[in-house]
């Protein structure tokens, strides 16, 4: 073998050795990265039972990518209704985005923006923003304090109808009491007349993106007082939780009774039979309220019926649940501080 041939053979061996080492390092890097990635995904997934943010991230991904195959996401189709429902549960968007990034190595808001139309994407952001506002909303009984940015109202403000407007049992403006709407889950409680005091803001709000209507939640308790309109005759002793448009075209808000009565003389005396709810603050916390959705038997400690309550009545707040004989019961602490049992199917936790 000549000297030139020896040098050439030696260089080939060095090149091959270098390629083997480089290949090994690359494979090691890829394997290590995959192992680390799987560990992070597994660790994040294991937190699902403990973290609402992780569950929400998984739910959003499932709504955008039902097949579970990442590269098929563009062709999978998107469940907009599921995304809308999950949005109402999100109070920590940053945490959900972080969990989504750890699970799927992608950016949540970018994926949502590409999967949803601009209107649905903006509705998602507005819903999440409302959740934050509802959580941070001022809850002082006197209505003092700082109103969160983007809030439609402030807790304990007095709400007056500027013109005839629907009061609803849910924040959905789809139904307008038209003759052809005889089928469907109409949510119109009644029509408030112009100049009527309708109740006290709870500090909770909702944006109906489908109909482009902003809603505020109102509450009141009916007290038997002389001069009370017949409208409330069948509601004596009841506490109501309802919704009304937040638009300045339909409603006006006041911080004091004197200011309200000065501008709307027809409201004089209304606060004597429509009372604010004591300690209104807890109403803005998610899952803190028990509201009936049908005629509901109220049960004592021995699970025997005491009385019946109509739909859309605020009972109190949940204490615990108990299952037995195929039925689940919820223990409710009423606004008067009394513990009562109800069938869980007859209520919603709001």
Mean pLDDT of 28-48: 56
DSSP of 198-237, one letter per residue? Answer: EEEEEEEEEEETTTTEEEEEEEEEE---TT--GGGGGGTT
**In this predicted structure, what is the pLDDT of residue 107?**
92
Average pLDDT, the chain: 81
Q: Residue 246 has what DSSP assignment?
A: -
Give the alpha-carbon dihedral of 270, 239, 160, 217, to 10 degrees: 170
More confident residue, 58 or 75: 58
More confident residue, 304 or 69: 304
Which pLDDT band holds residue 264 (cuts at 50, 70, 90)?
Answer: very high
By the 10 Å C-beta count (0-12 exposed, 13-18 middle, 19+ buried), 321 is classed as: exposed
CA angle 70–52–326, rounded 5-degree value: 105
Q: Which stretch of DSSP H or E encloses residue 189?
A: strand 188-192
pTM above 0.85, yes or no: no
Q: Say whether pLDDT at 67 is over 50.
A: yes
Which pLDDT band holds residue 183 (cuts at 50, 70, 90)?
Answer: low
Please check whether residue 119 is in contact with residue 212, taking contact to mean a CB–CB distance below 8 angstroms: no
Q: How many helices (H) and strands (E) does the chain have?
A: 9, 15
Strongest mean pLDDT among 182-196, 233-247, 253-267, 331-345: 253-267
Longest dimension (CA), the chain: 121
By the 10 Å C-beta count (0-12 exposed, 13-18 middle, 19+ buried), 225 is classed as: middle
Whose tokens are 């994926």? That residue is 111
C-alpha–C-alpha distance, residues 64 and 75, integer Å = 10
The angle, 0 to 180 degrees and rounded to 10, between the axes of the packed helices 108-115 and 93-104 is 90
Which pLDDT band holds residue 14 (cuts at 50, 70, 90)?
Answer: low
For the structural domain made of 290-349, what CATH number should be given? 2.30.30
Question: Within the chain, which residue ranges are assigned CATH 1.10.220.10?
Answer: 52-136
CA dist 297 to 61, 85, 232, 253, 340, Å? 40, 29, 22, 36, 10
C-alpha–C-alpha distance, residues 105 and 70, integer Å = 10
C-alpha–C-alpha distance, residues 110 and 116, integer Å = 10
Tokens of 205: 């709000």
Whose tokens are 């062709």? That residue is 75
Question: Within the chain, which residue ranges are assigned CATH 2.30.30?
Answer: 290-349
The domain made up of 52-136 is a member of CATH 1.10.220.10? yes
More confident residue, 116 or 41: 116
């Amino acid at each position: 073998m000549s000297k030139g041939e020896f040098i050439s053979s030696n260089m080939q061996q060095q090149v091959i050795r270098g390629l083997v080492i480089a290949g090994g390092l690359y494979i090691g890097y890829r394997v290590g990265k995959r192992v680390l990635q799987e560990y992070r995904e597994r660790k994040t997934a294991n937190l699902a039972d403990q973290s609402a943010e992780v569950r929400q991230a998984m739910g959003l991904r499932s709504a955008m990518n039902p097949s579970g195959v990442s590269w098929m996401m563009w062709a999978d189709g998107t469940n907009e209704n599921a995304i809308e429902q999950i949005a109402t549960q999100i109070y920590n968007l940053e945490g959900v985005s972080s969990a989504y990034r750890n699970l799927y190595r992608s950016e949540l808001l970018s994926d949502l923006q590409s999967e949803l139309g601009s209107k649905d994407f903006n509705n998602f952001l507005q819903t999440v923003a409302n959740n934050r506002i509802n959580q941070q909303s001022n809850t002082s009984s006197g209505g003092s304090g700082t109103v969160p940015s983007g809030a439609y109202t402030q807790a304990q403000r007095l709400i007056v109808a500027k013109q005839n407007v629907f009061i609803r049992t849910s924040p959905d403006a789809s139904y307008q009491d038209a003759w052809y709407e005889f089928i469907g889950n109409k949510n119109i409680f009644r029509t408030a007349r112009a100049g009527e005091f309708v109740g006290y803001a709870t500090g909770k709000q909702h944006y109906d993106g489908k109909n482009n209507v902003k809603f505020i939640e109102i509450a009141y308790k009916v007290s038997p007082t002389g001069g009370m309109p017949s409208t409330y005759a069948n509601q004596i002793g009841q506490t109501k939780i309802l919704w009304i448009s937040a638009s300045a075209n339909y409603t006006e808000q006041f911080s004091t009774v004197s200011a309200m009565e000065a501008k709307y003389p027809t409201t004089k005396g209304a606060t004597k039979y429509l009372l604010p709810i004591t300690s209104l603050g807890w109403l803005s916390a998610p899952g803190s309220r028990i509201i009936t959705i049908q005629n509901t038997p109220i049960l004592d400690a021995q699970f025997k019926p005491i009385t019946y309550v109509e739909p859309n009545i605020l009972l109190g707040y949940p204490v615990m649940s108990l299952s037995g004989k195929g039925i689940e019961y919820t223990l409710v602490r009423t606004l008067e501080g009394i513990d009562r049992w109800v069938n869980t199917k007859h209520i919603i936790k709001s």
